[in-house]
Structures are given as structure tokens and as C-alpha cells.
């Protein structure tokens, strides 16, 4: 089966056909580095990773480009609010450059721990200002801009296809939408290409440009850098679902205005959000969970990866420690099963041999081959990771499949899933008891917090989750203790 992707442009499942045979140009919006990435942001990058791995598995030579937003992103995507980098630097008593450097490094530590492959090109906005200026000039020369209040704006009325991606009904939104909107804008959906009159007096990042000394609007960086590294039209662009109505809509408008090529991007892939039971996770409000917080509670980053793969990328996922504990238990059982199969082979070192050798014809023709084919069909069907995981479990559980073939299949599937299964088994399990103890303590603390806000259902669910793991809680006057039941 050919790879099929749900294209937001058109809202249908479409067979994937690249512009150039055998090659794929892929751009995924990267992080805004004014704070740690939260686990919702990281969901987006796990999805990009699964997409890239699926494409590579299918034989495509993928160029994956990721930007680092280190300038110009205001707290409102629509040019409103504070400058995210500047605000963060002021709060932390650092320069904007120091903040960008710190959180870029932390971001790549997180992605490495989640076994996310490094993009082919990582490009910082601040290192591509001349490319942005050149692109804005093309947009200006073709008549899509106006000056107001010292800034250069994109005039959406000049771009007939504006809002196609998000199916925006612009007329509906005009009335009343001007409240709080930059009064220089002729239309509330117009957006800034270049700021010279910063509302932030202490703006630290400034560059000379034909429109005066200033800095770029947020959206232009993604158009300029993707065009620079992937060409004026390319295959796939991805990001979170929140980017559909503004950021990606504006990227399309300015790119197509500059080049005259339609469509600029052929497939748009958007992941749904990870939400907390309290609601939306927001980096700017500070109410969010980091990967490190999960690690501090005793989870392995790959437990979180496993948790994410259990849901389809276009479904909203609610995060809870209970669900993460479930994912951890499942991953642990998976590793135990692999260990059993390795033991059945007699020699643990044979796993790496199997991993690095091609699949023999006997594998492909037998039942193991059918599991692997079903796995690939699932992933090729708009990245259906939950079905992929079911095939992984299937091949491991099936008594008809030999230990050797089961392990070959696991290794082949894990090239796409990226759970590092063979490596984890080869290097030995992490110190289990300490990890387990930490996570029990974290759940006890979460239960105490739930009781404090009189959320007794949640407290009971946590007690039940632990009971299912053989852990019994006893409430004492000032503390809760646990024991194995």
C-alpha cells in the first residue's frame, strides 16, 4: 500500500506523491526558544519523527528542515502581546541570546532522550535575516504590502486564496474582531512582515533593512528558511493544529505572493494537542509539564514516547500520570517479552546480529512477514501508530512465530517506532527499583493534591492504578505509606 496522509489542505486522506521521485522535502515548525519545551510541544516533534521514519522506511531520501524561532514571536500569534524572547530574558536577568542558547540546548536534549532523529537542517531565525529581507522585498515588489505606523504589513486583500488552508470565513471574523488589534492594520488578518516601530523600547535584536532598522514578523522566517533549503515548492509541511488559522495561513500567503507558485506546499500535516486534565497546556502561562518533570517522577522518556504512540496523531490526547504509568507498564512488559525471546535463542548477543542483517525470504513468506506487512500498512495509513503497536505485540505473542523471526520483526518495526527496544535489552534494564519507588511517590503526591481539591474520584483512580500494580496505600494521619500487596 502506498503512503497516505491526511492533508489539511482539502481535509482528505491523499496518496503521497513527491515532487521528485524518491526524494521528500519536509519542513516542520520548530520550537520558540524562550522557555523549556513542554510535553505537548514534544508531541509535535515525536509526530514529525514518526513521519520522517515512515518516509525513510518507504525508501524516500528525506531532507528534514527544522527552524529555531529565536526572534519575533509575540505572545499572540497575530502580532499582539509581549515579545516572548524579550519577556523571558527580562524575567531571568539574561540577554535574549543567552535565553535562546539555553533553551535550544535543552530542547535538543529532550528530543535526544525521546529518540527523535536530528533534522537534516536546523536553522535559526536570527541567522537568516538576509534571506527574510530578500523574500519580503519580492513580496513588496509584487504589490502585496503597505506601510503603516513605521511597519511593513502584508495586505491579505491582494491575495485571493487567503485562508484556504483553515477554511477561514473572513467576513464573519471582521465584525468586532478589531478590538485589541493593531490599529495600523487595514484588515485584522493583515500581518507584519517587518517591524521598525517596536512597541518594545528595549528590543535587543535589531537589524538594518530597506524599511529601517527593526526585526522580522514571526511568520516570514518559516517561509524564508523552508524556501532556502527545500526550494520554492516542496512536499510536506507540519506543525500543531493551532498553526492552521494564523501561522501556516500567513506562511502560505507570503510564500505564494513572493513566488507566484501555487501550491507552495503540497501536503499539510497537523498534529492534535496533548491536553492536561485541567485544560490547555501553555508555555507562555508557565502552567506546563516538561520531560524532565516526568523523569523526576521516575519515568523513562521512552515511556512518554510509548504513551504518545498509543494515540493517533490527529486525536487529542489527555495526559495523566495514570495513563503514563500504564504506558510504562506496557513498555516494561514488551521489553520482558523481548528478553524471553532473546533467551530462547540462547545467545543474547545474537540480537544485534539479527538487527543488522537483511530479512531472509523465509521471514517474508511466513507469518512473521505478514505481521510486518500489516505493521507497514498501518503506518502507511496516515501514521496509524496504535495499530502499529498492536502488530508489534502480535508478533511477540504469537507462538507460531519463531523467536528469531519475532526478534527480526521487532527490530524492523522499531526502526519506525523509535522505541530503542533492542538497544534497551542489549544494554540491560535501568535500575528498576529506584525508578519504581520514585514514580509511586509521585503518584502518592498527586493523590494528596487531588484530595486537597476534593477531587476524590481522581484520588480513588490513583489508588486503583497502584493496586493493579500490586501496590497498596495506607493513609496515616500525616502521610500515606505504601507496601506491596
Provide the 3-class DSSP secondary structure of residue 237: strand
Which residue, 324 or 407, is less far from ligand AMP as judged by CB?
324
Q: Which of residues 198-227 bind Zn ion (CB under 5 A)?
A: 222
- Which residue in the set 8, 41, 54, 424 belongs to the binding site for ligand AMP (CB under 6 A)? 41
Binding mask 225-264 for ligand AMP (x = CB under 6 A): --------------xx-xx---------------------
Q: Is 389 in the site for ligand AMP (CB under 6 A)?
A: no
Q: Which residue is nearest to ligand AMP (CB)?
A: 240
Q: Is 106 in the site for ligand AMP (CB under 6 A)?
A: no
CA torsion angle 200 202 204 208 (round to 10): 70
Q: Is 283 in the site for ligand AMP (CB under 6 A)?
A: yes
CA torsion angle 131 135 136 140 (round to 10): 150
Please list the residues that pair with 276 across neighbouring strands: 279, 319
Residue 28 CB, nearest approach to Zn ion (Å): 8
Q: Is 126 in the site for ligand AMP (CB under 6 A)?
A: no
| Helix then strand then coil, % of the chain, to nearest 5 | 50, 15, 35
Q: DSSP secondary structure string, 57-78?
A: HTT-EEEEEEEEB-S--BSSTT
Q: Residues touching Zn ion: how many (CB under 5 A)? A: 2
Residue 162 CB, nearest approach to ligand AMP (Å): 21
Of 417, 406, 424, the closest CA to residue 335 belongs to 424
- Which residue in the set 226, 271, 325, 385 belongs to the binding site for ligand AMP (CB under 6 A)? 271
**Helix 367-380 to helix 385-397 angle, to the nearest 10 degrees?**
170
Q: Residues touching ligand AMP: how many (CB under 6 A)? A: 17
Listed in sequence order, the residues at least 6 apart from 197 whose beta carbon sits closer than 8 Å to its beta carbon are: 149, 150, 151, 214
Q: Is 32 in the site for ligand AMP (CB under 6 A)?
A: yes
- Which residue in the set 18, 43, 220, 369 belongs to the binding site for ligand AMP (CB under 6 A)? 43
Which residue, 85 or 450, is less far from ligand AMP as judged by CB?
85
Distance from C-alpha of 205 to C-alpha of 224, rounded to nearest angstrom: 18
Q: Is 116 in the site for ligand AMP (CB under 6 A)?
A: no
Residue 60 CB, nearest approach to ligand AMP (Å): 22
Q: Which of residues 22-61 bind Zn ion (CB under 5 A)?
A: 29
- Which residue in the set 274, 411, 450, 473 belongs to the binding site for ligand AMP (CB under 6 A)? 274
DSSP state of 148: E
b/e 179-202 (16+ beta carbons within 10 angstroms → b): eebbebbebbbbbbbbbbebeeee
Binding region for Zn ion (CB under 5 A): 29, 222
| Interface ranges with ligand AMP (CB under 6 A) | 29, 31-32, 40-41, 43-44, 69, 239-240, 242-243, 271, 273-274, 281, 283
Amino acid at each position: 500500500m502506498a503512503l497516505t496522509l491526511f492533508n489539511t489542505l482539502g481535509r482528505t486522506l491523499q496518496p503521497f506523491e513527491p515532487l521528485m521521485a524518491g526524494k521528500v522535502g519536509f519542513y516542520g515548525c520548530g520550537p520558540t526558544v524562550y522557555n523549556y519545551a513542554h510535553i505537548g510541544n514534544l508531541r509535535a516533534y515525536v509526530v514529525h519523527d514518526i513521519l520522517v521514519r515512515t518516509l525513510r522506511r518507504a525508501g524516500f531520501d528525506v531532507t528534514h528542515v527544522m527552524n529555531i524561532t529565536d526572534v519575533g514571536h509575540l505572545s499572540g500569534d497575530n502580532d499582539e502581546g509581549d515579545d516572548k524572547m524579550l519577556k523571558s530574558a527580562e524575567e531571568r536577568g539574561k540577554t535574549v541570546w543567552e535565553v535562546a542558547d539555553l533553551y535550544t540546548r535543552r530542547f535538543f536534549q529532550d528530543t535526544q532522550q525521546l529518540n527523535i532523529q536530528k533534522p537534516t537542517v536546523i536553522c535559526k531565525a536570527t541567522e537568516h535575516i538576509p534571506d527574510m529581507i530578500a523574500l519580503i522585498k519580492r513580496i513588496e515588489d509584487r504589490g502585496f504590502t503597505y506601510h503603516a505606523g513605521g511597519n511593513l504589513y502584508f495586505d491579505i486583500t491582494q491575495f485571493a486564496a487567503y485562508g484556504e488552508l483553515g477554511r477561514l470565513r473572513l467576513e464573519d471574523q471582521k465584525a468586532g474582531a478589531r478590538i485589541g488589534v493593531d490599529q495600523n492594520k487595514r484588515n485584522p488578518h493583515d500581518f507584519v512582515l517587518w517591524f521598525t516601530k517596536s512597541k518594545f523600547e528595549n528590543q535587543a535584536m535589531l537589524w538594518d533593512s530597506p524599511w529601517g532598522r527593526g526585526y522580522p514578523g514571526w511568520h516570514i522566517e518559516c517561509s524564508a528558511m523552508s524556501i532556502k533549503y527545500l526550494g520554492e515548492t516542496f512536499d510536506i509541511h507540519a506543525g500543531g493544529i493551532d498553526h492552521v488559522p494564523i501561522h501556516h495561513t500567513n506562511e502560505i500567503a507570503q510564500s505564494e505572493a513572493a513566488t507566484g507558485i501555487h501550491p507552495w506546499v503540497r501536503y499539510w500535516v497537523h498534529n492534535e494537542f496533548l491536553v492536561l486534565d485541567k485544560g490547555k497546556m501553555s508555555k507562555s502561562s508557565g502552567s506546563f509539564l516538561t520531560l524532565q518533570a516526568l523523569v523526576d517522577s521516575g519515568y523513562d522518556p521512552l515511556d512518554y514516547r510509548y504513551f504518545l504512540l498509543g494515540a493517533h496523531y490527529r486525536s487529542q490526547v489527555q495526559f495523566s500520570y495514570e495513563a503514563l504509568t500504564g504506558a510504562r507498564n506496557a513498555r516494561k512488559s514488551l521489553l520482558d517479552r523481548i528478553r524471553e525471546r532473546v533467551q530462547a535463542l540462547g545467545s543474547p548477543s545474537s540480537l544485534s546480529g539479527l538487527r543488522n542483517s537483511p530479512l531472509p525470504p523465509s521471514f517474508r513468506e511466513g507469518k512473521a512477514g505478514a505481521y510486518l506487512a500489516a505493521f507497514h500498512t498501518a503506518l502507511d495509513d496516515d501514521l496509524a501508530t496504535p495499530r502499529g503497536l498492536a502488530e508489534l505485540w502480535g508478533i511477540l505473542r504469537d507462538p507460531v512465530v519463531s523467536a528469531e523471526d519475532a526478534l527480526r520483526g521487532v527490530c524492523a518495526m522499531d526502526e519506525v517506532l523509535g522505541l530503542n527496544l533492542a538497544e534497551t535489552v542489549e544494554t540491560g534494564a535501568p535500575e528498576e527499583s529506584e525508578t519504581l519507588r520514585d514514580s509511586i511517590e509521585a503518584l502518592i503526591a498527586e493523590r494528596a493534591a487531588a484530595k486537597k481539591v476534593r477531587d476524590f474520584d481522581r484520588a480513588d483512580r490513583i489508588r486503583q492504578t497502584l493496586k493493579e500494580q500490586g501496590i497498596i496505600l495506607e493513609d496515616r494521619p500525616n502521610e500515606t505509606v505504601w507496601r506491596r500487596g
